[in-house]
Structure formats: C-alpha cells, structure tokens
Structure 1
Amino acid sequence: MSEKKTTKEDVHAWTSKYADKAGYMLNPDEEMRDLVLEGIAKNKDTHGKNYCPCRIVTGDEIEDKKIVCPCIYHKEEIESDGSCHCDLFFRKEDQEEDEKED
C-alpha cells in the first residue's frame, strides 16, 4: 500500500484554518496561493514536514524547525510587510483596505 501524497487541497485546509484562527487571510491571488500550497505539499512529501517553500531546508533539525509553515518569521513579516515572505498569509486589514479602494 503506497502512502497518500499530500495535496495542495490538504495544505489549503489547514492553512485556511490557521489564518482564520490567527486573524490573517490567505493570499487572494489564487495562482500565487496555489504555487505556495503546492510547494508546502511537495516539502511534506519530500522532507516529511510542512516546510516553507520560500526557504531552504538545511538538514539541521533545529534550524529547519524554524521554517515549518507557519514559520517563526511569519508574524513579524506580516506585521512589518503586510504579508509573510511567501505571500501566503496576509494581514486582513490591508486586504480589506485595498478592496475598499477598488
């Protein structure tokens, strides 16, 4: 029996729940969001953990723990830039303001 491959839908489900709970939103650009979700799914299948696809897995377990999505950097990045480095998680207010301006 082969192991089930992680899909972007699997990753979308838990990242969406996390975003809601943390007060963030996922990238509204579906194509960009899907690229990041696919990268996380691939890392899960390749490396066994949901590593951020925008950072390099080093093989050092302690260092790599920092880049499991959501990585330790995401809150600070969202606070300062409005989104995390991967552009997966966004500050809700920024997106709502952008939508009001349209």
Structure 2
Amino acid sequence: MMQIKNDVEKDINLIQIYLKCLKISTFKIDKSSKSQRISEAIINIIFIIIQEKNISEAYITLYKNKQILLHRILESWGFVETGQKNQEVVMTKFNYKKNERC
C-alpha cells in the first residue's frame, strides 16, 4: 500500500523539505530470487508513481535488524537512511534535482 501525503509527518524524525511525499507500507521479502524480483518490481512501480505524480520524496519504515535484505535492496535502488520512527529506520528516496531544494 502506498499513500500520497501532503502534510508533514510529525512522528518521524527526518528532514522534510517538501510537503508532498509518498508513504510506502513495509513489505516483506525472503531470500528466494522470486521474492527479490517481486520486491524490485514493487520498487520500480514506486519510481513510476513518484515521476508521474511529481512527488519529491518517497519513504518507508523498517526494522533494520529484522529486514536486512529489504534494507540492502532499498539501498541499491538509492534509498538512504534519513531518520527514525519509534524503533524503525526511515529510508527515503529523493526525487529532485540539486537546485530544486528549498
């Protein structure tokens, strides 16, 4: 599940420059190659959505020590750790050019 948000998340400790972002629900993957291909397809869909809807940031929260493979895959697609929400790590994919920041 994904949700486009136009307001600031008050319970997430991250740098939010833009108000329009895409919140991605955590999805689980295992070590099978089929699961990894599905996760990459999901991430590809996320990229399509942020381009088509002109969304500046997409983020997902996950337990880094429990979802190691998902964390690695997200990093390989350009997501970076930007903060924490409760005990979870917030990983964000930024979608803007260098001079577009406020």
TM-score of the aligned structures, taking structure 1 as reference length: 0.31
Query: In terms of Rg, which structure is larger?
Result: 1
Which structure has more RCO (C-alpha within 8 Å, separation ≥ 6)? 2
Q: Normalising by structure 2, report the TM-score.
A: 0.31
Query: Greater share of strand residues, 1 or 2?
Result: 2
Q: Counting helix residues as a fraction of each chain, which structure ranks higher?
A: 1
